[in-house]
Every structure is written in structure tokens, then in C-alpha cells.
Amino acid sequence: MIIAIASGKGGTGKTTIATNLALTLAEDGTALQLLDCDVEEPNCHLFLKPAWKDKRPATIVHPQVNTARCTGCGICAEVCEYNAIAVVNGEVLIFPELCHACGACSRFCPEDAITEVPHTIGTISTGHAGNIRFIQGLLNIGELMTPAVIEKVKSSADPDALTIIDAPPGASCPVIEAVRDVDFVLLVTEPTPFGLNDLVIAVEAMRALERPFAVAVNRSDIGNDEVLRYCRDEGIDVIVEIPDDRRIAEAYSRGDMIVHALPHMRNLFEHLWHEIRGRVSNKKEKT
């Protein structure tokens, strides 16, 4: 079972829910893995404090031209869907920041003048926090290929293990890469106009991907009821509401886990897991 915790915008409490849900299950004896796929700014480790075991580079390949063999025919530029190659006066110009490492240029070069060379775009770190196997991706500063690092985080995971993914915020390509093959997505929002606006976008993305999802409302007793009204009108289940409690914010600011600072909150995360597991089980039975 693979569960993604996502949000239409940053700052809604996505990481708080992902880490506390993982810790609740782990302390109840469940072995699982948590993947921090928010690779531009991963922060799950600040709360779970894993013991790191391994760190390795995340690499993709970039094209390199052998000018002695290149005839300047321009086929490489024609087949590049991302405009990462241009041919000017017979000279091939490569723009690595646009390259998606698809390999089309080297495959279709009639002179075999293009080879692929490795390029490091980030790091993948693994470790353990109790029963939680922890995998984190970190995109190097200045690099743009966020989805590629996310893909490498996911490929480092055990495909047969219970998995919780802390997805990037928003609804762009990195989020799509993080959630595209999961069993269930929990969309975390807040009852504010910004929260509603971005929730609508995230919902549209999940429906386009045909991923089953439900909503968690954080700081549920602030703002207004427009988020709840939207979910009701759209037939979207709100399976947990987390109150606006100063003690939660204080624990977060210290890097403490909510279920440790406020033990009564464990019941909330146990209820959340019950709701998620039930929905995934029902979905699998129907298919």
C-alpha cells in the first residue's frame, strides 16, 4: 500500500501529518517506509531524526557531441521535445538546464556523434527512525529536474512495503511524479481562501490522474466553512480535521512530534489510518 500526503499549497501541515502518521503506525509495531519527495526543501528528517545509513548521488544523463563526427544535420534538434538542442550554422548547441534525459538525440543521430554523460542533480539519503525506513531526496541548488530526483527516491523504496510519501506542494510536474502510481492521496488543506483555491486545483489534478483521494483540514477552526462546503458539493470526503491548537505550533517549532507532545492526538492519527486503510481496501476489492 502506497499513501501520498499532498497539498495544493505549502504550509498547510502536509509534513506534520505525514510524519506523525508514520510515527503512530511505527510505534504500534508496523514496519513501514517514509519517502520525503519534497526534494526542493525536504524537512521530514527534522522531526523523525533518522540515523543515516547511506548517501549517494542522484544522476541523469546529458548529451555530449563529438564534433569530429557531427555533420550539423540538425536531426537532434528536430527530435528534442524540450528545445534543449539547437543547431546554428552547423554547430550543435546544448542547453543542459532544459534537457530531460530522454535519449532521443543520441538514438536518432545518424552519425552516432552524440553520447550520454552522467550529470549529478541531487542526492538520495537513506536511514532508519525506529520501525521507519526513511528515504530522502535533495535537489542540488540551481538544478531544475525535480521529477527526476523524486523518481529516484521512489525507485529506492521497497515496492512491497507499506509506504507513506510526503509529496511536494502544489499540482505541477513534481507532484504528478510523486503521486501518479499511489493507492491513495490525502490532500491537506486549510479553511482559508488560499487553501480553497489551491485545493480545487489539486482535486482537479487527482481526478485527471484517476487517483482515489480524500481531504484533511488542518487548523479546522479558523477561517470559514467554504472548504467544507466545497467538499460537500463535490462529494469529497473530509476524513480528518485537526484543530488550531497553539500547542501543536509550539511542538512543530521545536521539531517535536505532535503525538509525543500531545499524546491525545494519537487517537486522531489512528482514526486517520483507519479511514485511509478502509478506503484502499474497498477500492482493491472493487477492482
Q: What is the mean pLDDT of residues 107-115?
A: 95
User: For the chain, how big is the Rg over CA atoms in Å?
Assistant: 22
Question: pLDDT tens-digit profile of 12-56?
Answer: 999 999 999 999 999 999 999 999 999 999 999 999 999 999 999
| CATH code, 43 | 3.40.50.300
pLDDT score of 58:
96
User: In this structure, are 108 and 129 located in the same domain?
Assistant: no
User: In this structure, are 42 and 160 located in the same domain?
Assistant: yes
Strand partners, 189: 217
User: In this structure, are 213 and 100 located in the same domain?
Assistant: no
Q: Is residue 61 part of a domain?
A: no
Question: pLDDT tens-digit profile of 138-161?
Answer: 999 989 899 999 999 999 999 999
User: In this structure, are 129 and 162 located in the same domain?
Assistant: yes
Q: Is residue 231 part of a domain?
A: yes
Domain membership of residue 92 as a residue range:
67-112
Question: pLDDT tens-digit profile of 152-188?
Answer: 999 999 999 999 999 999 999 999 999 999 999 999 9
Q: Is residue 62 part of a domain?
A: no
| CATH code, 97 | 3.30.70.20
User: In this structure, are 18 and 155 located in the same domain?
Assistant: yes
User: In this structure, are 262 and 181 located in the same domain?
Assistant: yes
Do the Cβ atoms of 94 and 65 come closer than 8 Å? yes
Question: pLDDT tens-digit profile of 235-282?
Answer: 999 999 999 999 999 999 999 999 999 999 999 999 999 999 999 887
pTM score of the predicted model = 0.91
User: In this structure, are 233 and 274 located in the same domain?
Assistant: yes
Say if strands 213-218 and 114-129 run parallel, antiparallel, or are unpaired.
unpaired
Q: Is residue 207 part of a domain?
A: yes
